[in-house]
Amino acid sequence: MSKVPPGPTPGFLVWRLANKWRVAVDRAVAPLGLTHAQYVLVASLRGMQRTGERPSQRRLADHTGLEALYVSKLARALESAGLIERTRDPRDPRAVQLALTEQGQAVTRQAVAVVQELLQQLLEPLGGLDAPRTRAFADELTTLLNVPLTPSVTNDESTQGTTP
């Protein structure tokens, strides 16, 4: 049986850091009329468009790690705000392609600048955005994100109501 180390677990720390970041970004992009989730969508869309891609909602969901249904909801709100346009994919009538409007490009440029400044602030204890410690931290996070999530225990009657 493994011994539980004292102090917060890595999972708890990741959760706390993710929440701290979400709240900070929410506050930073609110004056631009965006939420953190909307920012993730428009910033990702901007990056994909810069490489010549006009992604579908599904592709953007896969890219961001957000649920497809949530991306659809966010895309509708961003479309209503005039920041993106949603069009049917000519190759697949079931798919919806997304693109930033001119207004969306302008707002996204501002939001990216604000979030970059925030990121610099958050990473200052590691030496800043371009520091070796920051690159190593990003590599470690990427390693963890690349691990597929597969349940280690099946959800059957013998495990119902127990805590892992």
What value does the mean pLDDT of the chain take?
A: 90
pLDDT of 152: 65
pLDDT of 145: 87
pLDDT at 159 over 70: no
CA distances from 49 to 32, 44, 96, 104 (A): 21, 9, 15, 12
Q: What are 71-120's pLDDT values in tens digits?
A: 999 999 999 999 999 999 888 888 899 999 999 999 999 999 999 999 99
Distance CA 61, CA 164 (A): 29
Q: Per the confidence metrics, is the pTM higher than 0.85? A: no
pLDDT of 20: 95
Name the residue among 106, 55, 96 with its Cα closest to residue 76: 96
